């Protein structure tokens, strides 16, 4: 039996118990993949990150939900790099790179009013139209078809992880949502393991531009993600791809988590580059506590 220390940080917030929680395990090179999965399952957060040595970048990150490994996770990246920076891992560097299963990603580190902000470049955006049953999709999140804004497309989007973007007419409908995650794979026939990300152009916070919720794939072992960095980035690309085709770039704040009392903010930047849209997300984090997990080795 081995005791593993897991650091709990909340991303996209400066207030503990807000934003999106992530578990972080430092110096994890000696852990097996099975160990990592067992630790993530015990921690129970949407993602736990394991920090490893990299021969290709400044650091390697692996991300595990309670149910499976993910190629990339925005909020866990922000939380992990905030943690590592606070412990002096990067010295005075203002830019670093991270190795993930989604590729080598560049990161910018900025100190503003004494607080670190991490800017993360995501993979170039991809979109594929949703061809499934809209009525069943609405049912799977506890809504009616009339609640969906069909003036803009329902589309799968990815900047590293596939999610289904579902435009919603009114903000008031977000509190009424009741996800039935087990239905998702039979509805999302193009990407059965994708998550579902409803969003709208109304917000609770006047400083925010878009609002979202993020319902997890049933394979992940969780039901909802409080504040989702990767999906927020996809929202930025979606905005240019489908809503403002006249713009070359856009920069705004996405809010998420209010329905879970875990309010968080993600700064999103999207810009056109040839036939693709480049996406950046930016945020900060806050330390909450240490967790001890016991595993058999």
CA gap 179, 269 in Å, rounded: 29
Kindly state the tokens that stand for 45.
């957060």
| 202 catalytic per annotation | no
Sequence-ordered strand ranges (E) for the chain? 2-11, 20-25, 48-52, 59-64, 69-70, 95-100, 103-112, 115-121, 126-129, 155-158, 162-167, 195-200, 210-212, 214-215, 224-225, 249-256, 264-273, 276-283, 285-295
CA gap 89, 92 in Å, rounded: 9
CA gap 153, 140 in Å, rounded: 18
CA gap 35, 295 in Å, rounded: 7
CA gap 58, 85 in Å, rounded: 12
Do residues 9 and 82 touch, judged by C-beta distance below 8 A?
yes
Phi, psi of 67 (to 5 degrees): -110, -25
* Active-site residue, selected from the candidate residues 33, 47, 108, 251: 47
Secondary structure of residue 237 in the 3-state scheme: helix
- What residues are annotated to the active site? 47
């Amino acid at each position: 039996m081995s005791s593993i220390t897991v650091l709990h940080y909340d991303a996209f917030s400066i207030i503990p118990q807000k934003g999106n929680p992530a578990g972080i395990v430092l110096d994890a090179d000696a852990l097996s993949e099975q160990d990592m999965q067992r630790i993530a399952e015990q921690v129970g957060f949407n993602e736990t990150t394991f920090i490893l040595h990299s021969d290709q970048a400044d650091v390697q990150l692996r991300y595990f939900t309670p149910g499976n490994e993910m190629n990339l996770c925005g909020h866990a990246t922000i939380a992990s790099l905030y943690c590592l920076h606070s412990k002096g891992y990067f010295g005075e560097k203002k830019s670093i790179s991270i190795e993930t299963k989604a590729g080598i990603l560049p990161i910018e580190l900025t100190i503003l009013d004494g607080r670190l902000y991490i800017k993360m470049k995501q993979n170039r955006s991809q979109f594929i139209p949703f061809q499934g049953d809209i009525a069943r999709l609405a049912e799977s999140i506890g809504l009616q078809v009339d609640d969906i804004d069909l003036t803009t497309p329902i589309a799968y989007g990815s900047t590293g992880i596939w999610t289904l973007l579902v435009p919603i007419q009114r903000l008031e409908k977000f509190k009424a949502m009741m996800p039935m995650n087990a239905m998702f794979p039979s509805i999302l026939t193009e990407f059965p393991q994708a998550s579902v990300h409803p969003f709208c152009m109304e917000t609770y916070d006047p400083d925010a531009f878009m609002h979202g919720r993020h319902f997890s794939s049933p394979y992940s072992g969780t039901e909802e993600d409080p504040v989702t960095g990767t999906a927020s980035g996809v929202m930025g690309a979606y905005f240019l791809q489908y809503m403002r085709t006249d713009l070359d770039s856009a920069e705004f704040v996405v809010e998420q988590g209010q329905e879970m009392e875990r309010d968080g903010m993600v700064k999103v930047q999207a810009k056109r580059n040839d036939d693709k849209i480049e996406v950046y997300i930016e945020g900060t984090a806050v330390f909450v506590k240490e967790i001890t997990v016991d595993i058999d080795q």
